[in-house]
Structure 1
Amino acid sequence: MRTTMLRERQKKRLYLLAAAVAVIVWYYYFYGYPWSGPDARSDNLNVIDPLEDDVEGLTFTKRQFFLNTKPFRILSGAMHYFRVPSEYWQDRMMKMKACGLNTLETYVSWNLHEPVPGKFNFTGMLNLRKYLELAHSEGLYVILRPGPYICSEWDFGGMPSWLLADQKMKVRSNYQGYQEAITRFFGYLLPQVTDLQFKRGGPIIAVQVENEFGSFSTEVNHLMFIKGLLRLHGIKELLVTSDGSEGLVRAPFYQDALPTVNFKDTEQGRTGFEVIKQENPDFPLMVMEFWTGWFDHWGQPHNTDDLSVYAERVATILDSGASINFYMFHGGTNFGFMAGANEFSHYKADVTSYDYDAPLTEAGDITEKYMKTRELILEKIYKPLGILQLPVVPANVPRVEYAKLRMAEMMTWKDLTSHIMKTGHSERPMPMEMYKFDSGLGQSYGYIIYRKQIGSGNWLELPGKVRDRAQVLLNTWSVTTFDSDSKKLEVQMHASQPNNLLEIVVENLGRVNFINHKAPDPDILNKQRKGLDGDVKIDGKFVTDWNALALDFDQEFLYKISRASEWKSFIPQKNSPTLYRAQMVIAGTPADTFLNMKDWKKGIVIVNGMNLGRYWEIGPQRTLYIPAPFLKSGMNEFLIFEEHASGEYLYFQKEPQLG
């Protein structure tokens, strides 16, 4: 009898243990392992935060926003963490507060966060969570615009170039390959920020669904897909869209997200506001992007605004009762190869600086536009509430003019390219995204080299359209250069020797970041593959069997060439791409400075492993911004990749020269 009872007890214990295990497995399956990283924290999207029952987020009625049931007006400034050194985030936020702003708006750069499919980077300047937490500590609310498409004069509108390895890719649509990529990215991104929503005690008060979608497409189902992912991963704050007036009408999403309008001109604003007013009497008016200035293209004039016209536009918006986001409040810099481009009548690449003629300069300086903005906000918003002064404006970050620096060493084109590890092969040249280099992936940024050993030959003919600039080298010396506007891609090479090395070096100057439905080719985003695509001919005969080399100056490559043995004493070079090096010793604490590339033609500058971006003699930009955090006390390494003809010195100055 006792044995039977013991067996029954053992069975019950086993049943209870099995049930407990089942519950634990079920819990971890749905709620995630708290020790297994940011995708599975204990504050997973399914966990109800006690704050959510007590806190009401951003709502609206009768044209009025409310935050936790109290009337609220959004006074926001755009600043993108990925364009500003993390050491300067707080300085810029404090200047926002001193201008009277209560909110910070930021995009999220998918291409930087997921440079390789399934491999993510949220460190350093990409530490989005740290950025949002800092905004919270500085007393700023946040409007989060996670894309996945952001435009923003950023390469490919923030979408990763590896999407284009799929020849059937249809970005910004419900194409399955695109949906799968977004699902993976949002599945990693959103769980990192859900607990930073206002309803859970954080700063995020609103989240945008895609960006200016109606200007591009009428496929509203894609917006529904994006919304579904946001809600699935725990985004519970107010959803918004932003667009011009026509876009708001072409892709109405009013039942699912609050419409906001983007504009610069006052009349454009009135038109956009009328669209919103007619749709719903409760919708509050908001300018999601009031364009405080404009961006620049290489070879075009520098854009600036008349201060009085700017002030009149701001005053009109504030007098209307609308909420406002100043885009940009602080633009920052398109470091590296991240500048985007436009292509309507022809291709135009964006410059490195994203100064934007914004209230804060590229280096974070206070401007007349900043002081006028501050004055208007104080007079029209705060004084009627009895608030007579704003916080003291922080001082500008100090800058220095370092002594000019002479080049010390050089590495020839032949030696430089000998260190390239990412190589591929094809019968005819293909776009950089289509190769399977040593990593198994295509190339995203920089220069692609098409290399072929040839016999004697005279006339070289390239295929189709160059994307975006091709330099033809014969035995390492430059023969000619073609760009995206070149109509006739032919050149006389004079290859008289029996054995010659032909190299066609094509630079990706930036993928198009914006297109609308009225463009000559509305499908141009899906055609942003860079390099050459098609048959090359010499004297009318097809040339096959090409080697391709990816010169993208990634961190592994920079580490390798910095320690290479092929460096020679500096001699100025002409008509052959060359890498130059100089070292500068800084005594004490480094300070911000601007690098003037006068006497140089075209290329990139890398300081201590950080790619500052492009310089180009055609302007308008003449200087590159070097933030102090990119420098260090002691020895600093400067690498200059010059495509054509070198200068001898690097010149430093305190003030920018943007055109």
Structure 2
Amino acid sequence: MAEVTYRSPGSLTFKNGDFILDQKPLRILSGTMHYFRVVPEYWEDRLLKMKACGLNTVETYVAWNKHEEYPGQFNFDGILDVRKFVQVAKKVGLYVIFRPGPYICAEWDFGGLPSWLLTDEKMKVRSNYQPYQDAVDRFFTKLLPLVTDLQYSKGGPIIAVQVENEFGSYSDEVEHLSFVKELLEKNGIQELLLTSENIFGLKRAAFYQHALPTANFPEMGDGQKLFDMIREWSPDFPLMVMEFWPGWFDHWGQGHKGLAMPLFENCLTGILDAGGSFNMYMFHGGTNFGFMAGANFFANSTYKPDITSYDYDAPLSEAGDITPKFLRAREIIFEKVLKPLGVTKLPDLPSNTPKASYVRNEVRCSSPIPMELLKIHGDYGQNYGYTLYRTTMPAGKCLQFSSLPQDRAQIFINGAFVHVIDWRNPGLEIDIVCTQDTNTLEILVENHGRVNYVEFGLNLLNEQRKGLSGDVSVDGKKLESWSIVPLEFDNDFVNNVSRCDKWVSTLPSSYSSPALFKATLTISDTPKDTFLCTKGWGKGIVFLNGFNLGRFWCVGPQQTLYVPAPLLKQGDNQILIFEQEAPGISIEFLDAPILNENDQQNVEDADKEYPTGS
């Protein structure tokens, strides 16, 4: 038995394996919802549905890379108004578990870390490397004062705050956890501190002297081992599953994942029968809007970028709909926890947001360095999107790269498509047929999402700069004099394109180069949630009234993009599609998602490993 274990200084404490709040035992029944994956107009709806399921707590991460797009340039407005989100949770009557990172994983680009950190070529993220510490210090100094008065001890709903995230899966430099803990406390955090780890990380980064250890798992086999380990450290520690995974996320080109209902029931029942508290990650997944979907990299596989939908097979769907999994969770929670406490009735189930099908039959056509090191935005480079590399080249038979493009490169010679290089189709040498003396070479490289999770011992997080790096040659002759064009699809660019009067109405049937397409959706009544169907299209991104809905790709499993009603308006709604490969001839708006349909000619084998954390 350890001689020294953590004691909570906050309002939420624990004793003999129970949480204690206001001198009464508390079973934490929590669900995860990320404010930055849900439009603000729907926050209260989703939180009320959590309450109706019997939950008493909501948990959220904080996305540093969205709040500080460039050093010292902070944004906490609209979908990023984390303070308002916590206040809405209090209004609904939910406690809050606050997980500010700075690293969050979350299938979010770079695990929530800003890509401008990689401007420093010696950067060591998630470590006590001083420039990284300085950046975290600046962010926490801005973020935490926004919520310190919302702690439970000050009349707010925040009852616990997490120190970093699944750190033992990445590193055993426990000193970094001490740095994060001290930074939290320096900036006014007074409530219970906790860590969360999966089966691989709990011992490797033991921090139980300074924070309550909690467990992450999808089934009770691993769960019981983690529970036993936590109880070994102290019989006072409550059993808390910080991430009970009721589903899973999807990678482009693979099958639609989830967790079957019997496995979900067994795990939830097992946690409650063991006397444990839980947080369902995710209870409501939401959407990886814009360019924010991340990627995974496992030692026994390859780079795997995540799809735009973060439906997660969660109890609340991507569009916030009540699912059979929600109803079964509600029954189990009521019977096993609430009914024995004397609760006779749960809140009535709120209605799902109305859906509509908007159908429109036509779309009228109208030396390389990584994006992070481009000398733009005050020398902090390009964060997201595409980068176009252009140069001239002589006749030749073989195009050669000194290092693989990151992450997906479409190669064009004299405007004609030649080849794609990506994690599914890697290669440093490409056979070409190029007989003219002077030719134009264009390489469009897509940042498909920075890795947010790597296994212990893989030093990948600091090395994932996107675009081209190193030499490109033809028959051994190095190509020089490159023109590099960042295609960030930022607000100004999208607005200017929308107003452009150079659109054309027809396109050759054989056209296969990247292009922008424009259409109008006219709605005569009050807008409702809908799903933009991308079947018949190749690969690209969609903007609706200037809002980036995210990526689509015909390889699936996702074939629709979720459109929350608040993004629509009565009257005309403008749609912009950046299609990289094969334009379609029509788009449809459906009243249900398609998240499990693959192009069988392109589908990859499903992951052999069960992923280990979020």
TM-score bracket for this pair, using the shorter chain length: over 0.9
Amino acid at match of 2:502: E
Aligned mate of 1:568, from 497, 504, 510:
504
Superposed displacement of residue 548, structure 1: 1.0
Secondary structure, aligned partner of 1:287: strand
Superposed displacement of residue 458, structure 1: 3.4
Q: Verify the 8 A CA contact 1:431 1:529 in the aligned structure 2.
A: yes
Aligned mate of 1:649, from 586, 590, 593:
586
The 5 A counterparts of 1:110-509 are 110-344=64-298, 345-410=301-366, 428-437=367-376, 439-509=378-448
Superposed displacement of residue 570, structure 1: 3.3
Distance, in Å, in 2 between the alignment partners of 1:140 and 1:605 is: 35
- Report what 1:15 is aligned to: none
Distance, in Å, in 2 between the alignment partners of 1:64 and 1:484 is: 47
Amino acid at match of 1:551: L
- Report what 2:469 is aligned to: 533
**Seq. identity, %:** 56
Distance, in Å, in 1 between the alignment partners of 2:510 and 2:47 is: 45
Q: Which moved more, 1:104-113 or 1:457-466?
A: 457-466
Amino acid at match of 1:605: V
Deviations 1:355-380 (A, max 9, x none): 00000000001111000000001001
Distance, in Å, in 2 between the alignment partners of 1:375 and 1:625 is: 28
- Report what 1:51 is aligned to: none
Asked if residue 601 in structure 1 is aligned to residue 538 in structure 2, the reply is yes
Secondary structure, aligned partner of 1:144: strand
Secondary structure, aligned partner of 2:445: strand
Unaligned 5+ segments in structure 1 are: 1-54, 411-427
Deviations 1:162-210 (A, max 9, x none): 1111110000000011101101100100010000000000000000000
- Report what 2:550 is aligned to: 613
- Report what 2:515 is aligned to: 578
Asked if residue 549 in structure 1 is aligned to residue 485 in structure 2, the reply is yes
Superposed displacement of residue 485, structure 1: 4.5
Aligned mate of 2:460, from 514, 521, 524:
524
Distance, in Å, in 1 between the alignment partners of 2:104 and 2:123 is: 18
Distance, in Å, in 1 between the alignment partners of 2:446 and 2:127 is: 28
Deviations 1:302-347 (A, max 9, x none): 0122212211111111111111101100001111111111112211
Amino acid at match of 2:136: I
Amino acid at match of 1:599: G
Question: TM-score scaled to structure 1, two decimals?
Answer: 0.87
Q: What is the RMSD computed on CA atoms of the aligned residues?
A: 1.4
Distance, in Å, in 1 between the alignment partners of 2:200 and 2:568 is: 46
Superposed displacement of residue 352, structure 1: 0.7
Aligned mate of 1:623, from 553, 560, 564:
560
Q: Which moved more, 1:62-71 or 1:566-575?
A: 566-575
Secondary structure, aligned partner of 2:74: coil
Amino acid at match of 1:83: R
Amino acid at match of 1:555: N
Distance, in Å, in 2 between the alignment partners of 1:549 and 1:367 is: 45
Superposed displacement of residue 70, structure 1: 1.6
Secondary structure, aligned partner of 1:568: coil
Amino acid at match of 1:615: F
Deviations 1:21-72 (A, max 9, x none): xxxxxxxxxxxxxxxxxxxxxxxxxxxxxxxxxx961001110111122211
Amino acid at match of 2:67: H
Query: Of the two, which has the highest radius of gyration?
Result: 1
Distance, in Å, in 1 between the alignment partners of 2:423 and 2:359 is: 38
Distance, in Å, in 1 between the alignment partners of 2:139 and 2:467 is: 27
- Report what 1:13 is aligned to: none
| Structure with higher RCO (Cα < 8 A, 6+ apart) | 2
Amino acid at match of 1:390: L
Superposed displacement of residue 439, structure 1: 4.6
Deviations 1:133-158 (A, max 9, x none): 00001000000000000001111100
Secondary structure, aligned partner of 1:549: strand
Distance, in Å, in 2 between the alignment partners of 1:332 and 1:530 is: 26
Secondary structure, aligned partner of 1:514: strand
Amino acid at match of 1:443: Q
Distance, in Å, in 2 between the alignment partners of 1:385 and 1:225 is: 40
Distance, in Å, in 2 between the alignment partners of 1:241 and 1:297 is: 27
Superposed displacement of residue 110, structure 1: 0.3
For this pair of structures, how many residues does the alignment match? 585
Question: TM-score scaled to structure 2, two decimals?
Answer: 0.93
Change (3 A) 1:646 1:259: same
Q: Verify the 8 A CA contact 1:405 1:582 in the aligned structure 2.
A: no
- Report what 1:44 is aligned to: none
Distance, in Å, in 1 between the alignment partners of 2:162 and 2:176 is: 14
Higher helix share: 1
Q: Verify the 8 A CA contact 2:410 2:443 in the aligned structure 1.
A: yes
Distance, in Å, in 2 between the alignment partners of 1:149 and 1:476 is: 41
Superposed displacement of residue 498, structure 1: 3.8
Superposed displacement of residue 299, structure 1: 1.1
Deviations 1:565-612 (A, max 9, x none): 322113256221111001121112111111111111111111111111
Unaligned 5+ segments in structure 2 are: 1-8, 597-614
